[in-house]
Amino acid sequence: MTGASGAIYGITLCRQLLAFGFHVHLVVSEAGWRVLKEETGWEATRRVDVLNERFDGAIADKRMTYHSLADIGASIASGSFRCEGMAIVPCSMGTLSAIASGASTNLLTRAADVTLKEGRPLLIVPRETPLNAIHLENMLKLSRLGVRIIPAMPAFYNGPRTLDDIVNFMVGKVMDGMGIEHHIYRRWGQPDDEQ
């Protein structure tokens, strides 16, 4: 999770992945912690405790591993560490730019670089508007490298009634990009009662 608005997308994705039985390795940038505080009221000083509380004990029972942004020696910084892929949700334009230029200045950008070099799926959910030419060029560069760009642009064909419906649509699109079967939003042409 980085410092772009839309922390709820990252929170919801973590909750869904945990519910599906995945072990989640979480990195939150310093700006990401600021956004978590501003958008959700999460306290940024007791980080491990807060994450453990908000994700129903997932750290304590070893379903989630939290890595400090500065821990460049963490497991996820190595290509020999086995994982199924990486999602950066939400992804700030600064993080997107660092990844596009190969600047591995912290654990998050190093893990993204490793994901690319190992040929594993990398998905990013950029959240910025309007976009300038630099943003678009960086996204194009990453797309050409095989990165899945899933902009935080919710659809309305599914008749969302709540903010959760909109968030679940975006998280569902990320899960689709990860190849995870789910039913957290109503797909095009799907009756309401089949969700």
Binding-site residues for FMN sit at 3-5, 29, 92-95, 127
Could you list the residues known to form a binding site for dimethylallyl phosphate, using ranges. 157, 173
How many Å is the Cα radius of gyration of the chain? Answer: 16
Backbone angles phi, psi at 149, to 5 degrees: -100, 115
The one-letter code for the residue type at 71 is D
The token pair that represents 162 in the structure block: 């709540």
Q: In whole angstroms, give the CA distance from residue 149 to residue 189.
A: 24
Q: Is the peptide bond before 121 cis (omega within 30 degrees of 0)?
A: no
Cβ pair 40, 167 in contact under 8 A: no
